[in-house]
Amino acid sequence: MLVIHMERGCKSLEVARVCGFLERKGCSLRVVGSFESPYIVSDGDEEVGNLILSLQGVKAVTPTKKPFPLASRETFPDDNVFNITEEIKIGGGDRLIMAGPCSVESRSQIIETAKGVKRSGANVLRGGAFKPRTNPYSFQGLGSEGIALMVEAKKETGLPIVTEIMSPEDLEWLEPHVDILQIGSRNMMNFSLLKAVGRTRKPVLLKRGMMATVDEWLQAAEYILAGGNHRVILCERGIRSFDKITRNTLDLSVVPLIKSLSHLPIIVDPSHGTGRKELIKPMSMAAIAAGADGLMIEVHPRPHEALSDGAQSLTLEEFQDLMGSVNKLCNALNEEVKTPCGLRIAM
Amino acid sequence: MLVIHMERGCKSLEVARVCGFLERKGCSLRVVGSFESPYIVSDGDEEVGNLILSLQGVKAVTPTKKPFPLASRETFPDDNVFNITEEIKIGGGDRLIMAGPCSVESRSQIIETAKGVKRSGANVLRGGAFKPRTNPYSFQGLGSEGIALMVEAKKETGLPIVTEIMSPEDLEWLEPHVDILQIGSRNMMNFSLLKAVGRTRKPVLLKRGMMATVDEWLQAAEYILAGGNHRVILCERGIRSFDKITRNTLDLSVVPLIKSLSHLPIIVDPSHGTGRKELIKPMSMAAIAAGADGLMIEVHPRPHEALSDGAQSLTLEEFQDLMGSVNKLCNALNEEVKTPCGLRIAM
Amino acid sequence: MLVIHMERGCKSLEVARVCGFLERKGCSLRVVGSFESPYIVSDGDEEVGNLILSLQGVKAVTPTKKPFPLASRETFPDDNVFNITEEIKIGGGDRLIMAGPCSVESRSQIIETAKGVKRSGANVLRGGAFKPRTNPYSFQGLGSEGIALMVEAKKETGLPIVTEIMSPEDLEWLEPHVDILQIGSRNMMNFSLLKAVGRTRKPVLLKRGMMATVDEWLQAAEYILAGGNHRVILCERGIRSFDKITRNTLDLSVVPLIKSLSHLPIIVDPSHGTGRKELIKPMSMAAIAAGADGLMIEVHPRPHEALSDGAQSLTLEEFQDLMGSVNKLCNALNEEVKTPCGLRIAM
Amino acid sequence: MLVIHMERGCKSLEVARVCGFLERKGCSLRVVGSFESPYIVSDGDEEVGNLILSLQGVKAVTPTKKPFPLASRETFPDDNVFNITEEIKIGGGDRLIMAGPCSVESRSQIIETAKGVKRSGANVLRGGAFKPRTNPYSFQGLGSEGIALMVEAKKETGLPIVTEIMSPEDLEWLEPHVDILQIGSRNMMNFSLLKAVGRTRKPVLLKRGMMATVDEWLQAAEYILAGGNHRVILCERGIRSFDKITRNTLDLSVVPLIKSLSHLPIIVDPSHGTGRKELIKPMSMAAIAAGADGLMIEVHPRPHEALSDGAQSLTLEEFQDLMGSVNKLCNALNEEVKTPCGLRIAM
């Protein structure tokens, strides 16, 4: 495949000429991104790529054999570092710590949690309002009321919020309220939803499907990138294996693997990844040591009262302890180990 | 949990009284189904169940520990035999043979296939218009144009049609045109979509997620049943395992297992289940011998020209040969082996 | 790789010349089989193969890219049909039904079982004397005493016996007593043991490892074939997957797959493959319909008293019922469906 | 189950009395360990345990529901810290770094590697002489000649050596030469071999089977402990999953999990665990951060010339770089993070 990088500020006529050229060559094409600096993805071969290089407005052409050309490091060699809010960045050494309850349950619960995790150093508040539950009779979340409570907690603490979106229909009203849209594990291959969030300009947290290969995961990210939304954060949350002693099998090797294959930032969710609160701290430490750009941690003021996922939630005190250790580890790594995963990997 | 079976033709006041009683006992409740014969699902215990039995309009109460009370054989001991069209039934010895191309590609392709598979004995035409593709740049199906061609093929042959729905937004316009709504493997846990098809009164073909347990699959079916739609057909299509020599690992043991746990009919898709056309016939035979209520087979007039899944598509001639063997096997089984899987299984 | 087929009755000097030629070409070589008709396996290329064809005593040379040259259908296109005893054959339409208890527990238990399964039509008696148990404190089998009881049951009924061997050290004394040596699932990659049974001239039943690919399984068979022992029977017994509702996931698609890739016979063990007695009959039917050359079924006169695997053992009456249905199915298949899996498959 | 701890220096008569008591109660029993301080494992219940406490020579009785009573932390709450040689310990903060080639290939190769890895800080030399190879025609190792070369490298460098044993027959001659006996992944359930190494007094490195649950792994360790050999080191080396982008899926969550369930030390092998040399350093860092007691790393002076596993071997320079980072991380962790996995976990 080819990724054709157009010049910043190129004219729409120049884009149209490239498209026309590709069409005459019988190649597929898709124009991606804003007017100032669009990309064109095509199935043309290297020969076509070389011819296109001479067209006006074309800055560069990257050929790639990867099925995720826009997500690939071959196309964009530098880390995709971007802002979540004006103050908060992910990538390039800045680690994003998302913490909060599995489900928003009440005003006091979410406000108490938000204040607590902020105090300990979290920089994003997580909380579920629409919950994808295996059983139709289980608590399905507070819905729009839950979102309102999240927004209130954001006002109180200043923490940006991340929450899961389960259906394209919810996007229009949900988008203005949240800072990061989360695609859950069970929806990683809900392509209608991927296309929908690709059309927004909000950062998207894309959890790995519990049965998804790395290759499929990056192609799911490609759906979003191909919609013109470049702010995608990957999140490893455990895969399904034959051993049921942990809820899922946290696959930390994807951290350096993704770093090699892609420019996208990747964080780790050891709460879902293990399902056992005793494992959350050591696996958080391991994730950071492996090079992760952040963590997503379930925290609840009183886990035994939680309506969902209590067994894998930390108390506020345990989260504070975790953050103490994580911060010391980050400092040690930043000083000593510059690029724990600087090598590139061929697929 | 409890399933409360109300009398056929019971009064809405009687339903309301049961609900009021459950609420006073602090139990959850959900009313399911049409006015003539509703069911109420509740988390009450057996003691509550016994008290409810004495209320007016209550016909029976079934306690169950299964997380899928409406899909469970404990609640409905008899096979759920139902009609697809006036002439075509599934269950109770009637086997449903769905055949057709992976994707609808052109008028001539779908008409030719429909006529061919009908001649060989298929009783439902399958065809994809909205295709869930791993890669955003792959052929995504003809969309609404594909549906129009399916409808045309239906008019030509009289075969009812089954096609995949990928988003709740498509339901309204799609529903009048198709006879069976298919939920694909990647969407088995798309709970928004499950709820949407649960509100329709069209039969639903629910494919097993490629990494879904039997328990999760039946709970996905429960989402549809709890919406009041009782016509759910399960479809085994292979799970993901460590061995990549076949596209998926076809898990035929679920056929007798589902028959024991549930009253729902189950069919088998050996095309996706193996991904190799050479294996389709023997695995079709095995599926029928294991007790399946039908098959779903990919057929294409010219598999090497197919835009998707050519490697696992039979030609019309191969399909005819398959049907010949399957019919002989069905006859032999109907005569000799009455209940290959008549035993019940405790989970 | 190359398989060089020497003429039946070729001279040892001719074999030596081929070996010398290969050595001079820098190729690996291994001489396999008896003096009358040896084979030589080498990593030479096709060019070397063509040169060798002109040497004296060479009957044919088969090049193959498969890592299991002697097990491959490319090398031996015809089914490997062989005798277990003078009367009993496997392959070519003759199905081998092995039945008996998981463990030999007492004289009366094994004799009663042997008589019962023979009456119902089994033609091999199975029984474990050395049991591979996950826990060191579990019943480990009666050992040599168990073998003595098996031999007694054989004398009483005339049924040949199959039992598991767990260590190369046991081979010398065990070999004269048993008719088929079983390699258990946990030992499929115990290469010392595979080499040991490759040196005997007893038929070997090679169970698939619970997490072995088809490719690895056929290479394990190749270890035995490369030792000069051609009588290898493969046995599918379920693989490990993420769903624990059955003990293992019975992978019946390997039946037609193995038939395509290899000339070796394959049987199916639905007892271990499902771990639930209610599933044994339907999965036995499915295995036969898929083309299996036989079955291995656990039978115990009183399953609830069994020291191991009671939950997956049939009573003698249930086994009789199973055999009735299986025989009718075999007859129907023999008449109607000549080659349910006659197609060849490329790996 | 019960573990009965006898007093150090108790009389054999006292042991005999406990055994007699258990027999009269109809309980199983197994005496484990040396005369000075034996243990008795029995299936007696807590009531029996209380009665035994009053018998002479009995120091303590630990009841447990775990199927691995001797490996359980319930029985021995303190870390099992032990010496490999007089100078080298594992556990209690001392980390064991085993490094060396997959296979011993030549005198110069093993000596050069031994000197190199020692210089960088490894404290054990690894090297395969008997190689378990999937294919019978692959290089199977130098055998006893390889052992001789390992012994020579040990003399040159002072590094203790670890090598794989594949058959009980090899134990007698192999034992005097090696410092740690390795049980490979494919033999984790070779119970004959586990029993054999349980009878020696050499430390055993027990690799996790690629398809083994944590529960099965600890029971395999129990086979060795029940033979009276307490020096067992567990080694995580990756499990088999559906994603083939890495050779295996390294399951680091077992590090804190094993620490909670058992007193045995655990190390990690990221070479086999990933199969990609680019991932070895980040996954080594992650393993240490998760609390591992050591690492096993494949190192080869010229990986591209290696007869096996070249793609996952580090050069001597890369190993030196790895050790630099690992040492800094160990220091940071030792200072700051006292017990990254100090919590206990219920199974």
**Which pLDDT score is estimated for D23?**
96
pLDDT band at D339 (very low <50, low <70, confident <90, very high): very low
Give pLDDT, residue B131. 93
Cα C254 from Cα D16, distance rounded (Å): 54
Strand, coil or helix: A23: helix
Q: What subunits make at least 3 CB pairs under 8 angstroms with D?
A: A, B, C
pLDDT band at A347 (very low <50, low <70, confident <90, very high): very low
Kindly indicate the confidence band of residue B99, based on its pLDDT and cuts at 50, 70 and 90.
very high
Per-residue confidence (pLDDT) for residue B82, from 0 to 100: 95
Q: How far apart are CA C183 and CA D283, in angstroms?
A: 36
DSSP state of B253: T
Please indicate whether, in this complex, the C-beta atoms of B240 and D242 are within 8 angstroms of each other. yes
DSSP secondary structure letters along B201-248: -S-EEEEPPTT--HHHHHHHHHHHHHTT---EEEEE--B--S--SSSS
Where exactly does CATH 3.30.70.1140 map onto chain A?
A: 2-63
What does the pLDDT read at residue B336? 54
pLDDT (average), residues C280-306: 96
- Indicate the fold that domain D2-63 takes in CATH: Alpha-Beta Plaits (3.30.70)
Q: Does C242 touch chain A (CB under 8 A)?
A: yes
Q: B172: closest CA among B160, B181, B184, B159?
A: B181
Encoded amino acid at B265, one letter: P
Residue of B nearest to D241 (CA): B242
Nearest to A147 by CA among A168, A121, A176, A119: A176
For residue A207, give every residue at least 6 positions away whose Cβ sits within 8 Å of its Cβ, in sequence order, or none.
A182, A183, A184, A185, A188, A235, A237, A269
**Which run of H or E residues covers position B295?**
strand B294-298
CATH number for the segment(s) B82-336: 3.20.20.70
Q: Does D339 touch chain A (CB under 8 A)?
A: no
A27: contact with B, CB 8 A cutoff: no
CB burial of B90-112 (b: ≥16 within 10 Å; e: otherwise) equals bbeeebbbbbbbbbbbeeebbbb
Q: Do B325 and C347 touch (CB under 8 A)?
A: no
Can you tell me the distance from the alpha carbon of D45 to that of D2, in angstroms, rounded to the nearest whole number? 7
Tell me what the mean pLDDT of segment B280-287 comes to.
Answer: 98
Average pLDDT score, chain B: 93
| Closest Cβ–Cβ partner in D239, D244, D290 for A282 | D290
Q: Which phi-psi region, left, alpha or beta, contains residue D58 (left: φ > 0; alpha: ψ -120 to 50)?
A: beta
Give tens-digit pLDDT for D136-195: 999 999 999 999 999 999 999 999 999 999 999 999 999 999 999 999 999 999 999 999
Per-residue pLDDT band for B345 (boundaries 50, 70, 90) equals very low
Tokens representing residue C219 in the block = 């290479």
Query: Between chains, do A241 and D255 touch, taking CB under 8 Å as contact?
Result: no
**Which of A273, A291, A347 is the closest to D245 by Cβ?**
A347
State what percent of residues in chain D have pLDDT above 90.
89
The tens digit of pLDDT for each residue in C43-64 reads: 999 999 999 999 999 999 999 9
For chain B, percent of residues with pLDDT exceeding 90 = 89
**C201: Cβ–Cβ under 8 A, 6 or more apart, which residues?**
C229, C231
Classify B83 in phi/psi space as left (phi over 0), alpha (psi -120 to 50) or beta: beta
Task: Check residue A344 and give its pLDDT.
Answer: 38
Residue D267 has pLDDT above 70, yes or no: yes
Judged against a pLDDT cut of 70, whether residue B347 lies above it is answered with: no
E-assigned strand segments in chain C: 2-6, 29-32, 39-42, 58-63, 82-83, 89-90, 96-100, 124-126, 161-164, 180-183, 204-207, 232-236, 266-268, 294-298
pLDDT tens digits, one per residue of B197-224: 999 999 999 999 999 999 999 999 999 9
Is C9's pLDDT higher than 90? no
Is the pLDDT confidence value at B50 over 60? yes
- Rounded to the nearest angstrom, the minimum Cα separation between C147 and chain B is 33
What is the distance in angstroms between the Cα of D340 and the nearest Cα belonging to chain A? Answer: 5
Instruction: List Cβ neighbours of C325 (8 Å cut-off, separation of 6 or more).
Output: B336, B337, B340, C281, C284, C285
pLDDT of residue D336: 54
Name the band, by pLDDT with cuts 50, 70 and 90, for residue C311. confident
Check whether C345 has a pLDDT greater than 80: no
Q: Give the residue from C37, C43, C95, C99 showing the smallest Cα distance to C69.
A: C43
Distances (CA, A) of A217 to A189, B104, B167: 9, 27, 20
With cut-offs at 50, 70 and 90, classify the pLDDT of residue A334. Answer: confident
pLDDT classification of D113: cutoffs 50, 70, 90: very high
For residue C192, give how far its alpha carbon lies from the nearest alpha carbon of chain D (Å).
Answer: 6
The fraction of chain A above a pLDDT of 70, given in percent, is: 96
pLDDT for D198 equals: 96
Yes or no: say if D236 and D271 are a contact pair by the CB < 8 Å rule: no
Among chain C residues, CA nearest to A248: C242
- Averaged confidence pLDDT in chain C: 93
CA separation for the pair D269, B89 (Å, rounded): 57
Which of A110-119, B74-83, B330-339 is predicted least confidently?
B330-339
Angle (CA) B107 B110 B113, round 5°: 140
Q: Is the pLDDT of residue A340 over 70?
A: no
> Which ipTM was obtained for this model?
0.94
Q: What is the predicted pLDDT for the residue at C308?
A: 83
Task: For A188, name the nearest residue in chain B, comparing CA atoms only.
Answer: B186
pLDDT(B344) > 70? no
Alpha-carbon gap, residue D330 to D130, rounded angstroms:
33
In the predicted structure, residue B100 carries a pLDDT above the cut 80: yes
Model confidence at C98, in pLDDT bands (50, 70, 90)? very high
- Which chain B residues touch D241 with a CB distance below 8 Å? 242
Question: Quick one: C317 exposed, middle or buried, by C-beta within 10 A (0-12, 13-18, 19+)?
Answer: exposed
Residues within 8 A of A (CB atoms), D 48-107 only: none
* Residue limits of CATH 3.20.20.70 in chain A: 82-336
pLDDT at B35: 57
Mean pLDDT of the A110-136 span? 97
Q: What pLDDT sits at residue A34?
A: 63
Confidence band of A311 (pLDDT split at 50, 70, 90): confident
Quickly count helices (H) and strands (E) in chain A: 11, 14
Write down the pLDDT at residue C339.
42
Q: What pLDDT is stored for residue C343 in this prediction?
A: 38
Contact flag C278-B340 (C-beta cutoff 8 Å): no
pTM for this one? 0.95
pLDDT for residue D106 is more than 70: yes
CB contact under 8 A, B240 and D240: no
Smallest Cα distance from B170 to chain A, Å: 10
CA angle B21, B25, B26 (to 5 degrees): 120
Phi and psi at residue B235, to the nearest 5°: -140, 115
Contacts of A43 in chain B (CB under 8 A): 137
d(CA A47, CA A26): 13
- Element holding B16 (H helix, E strand): helix B12-24
Residue in D134, D190, D222 closest to C187 by CB: D190
Handedness of CA A55, A59, A65, A67 (dihedral sign): negative
Q: Torsion angle, CA of D12/D13/D14/D19, rounded to 10 degrees?
A: 90
* C341 band by pLDDT with thresholds 50, 70 and 90: very low
How high is the pLDDT of residue A341? Answer: 38
Tell me, what's the pLDDT at C342? 38
Residues 248-277 on C with a CB inside 8 Å of A are none
Predicted local distance difference test score (pLDDT) of residue C334? 80
Q: Which residues share a beta bridge with C63?
A: C2
More confident residue, D95 or C345: D95
Q: Is the pLDDT of residue A102 over 70?
A: yes
Q: Closest chain D residue to C192 measured between Cα atoms?
A: D167
Test B290 with C283 for CB contact under 8 angstroms.
yes
Lowest mean pLDDT among B332-341, C117-126, C187-196, C206-215: B332-341
The percent of residues above 70 in pLDDT, for chain C, comes to 96
Least CB–CB distance from D279: residue in A239, A256, A289: A256
The pairing of strands A82-83 and A89-90 is antiparallel
What per-residue confidence (pLDDT) applies to C336?
54
Lowest-confidence segment of A120-134, C134-148, D279-293, D332-346 by average pLDDT: D332-346
Residue C146 contacts residue C161 (beta carbons within 8 Å): no
Calpha distance B8→B15 (Å, rounded): 12
pLDDT value at position D35? 56
pLDDT beyond 70 at C205: yes
pLDDT of residue D308: 83
**What residues of B are in contact with residue C242 (Cβ under 8 Å)?**
211, 213, 239
CB < 8 Å to A244, chain C: 244
pLDDT value, residue A336: 53
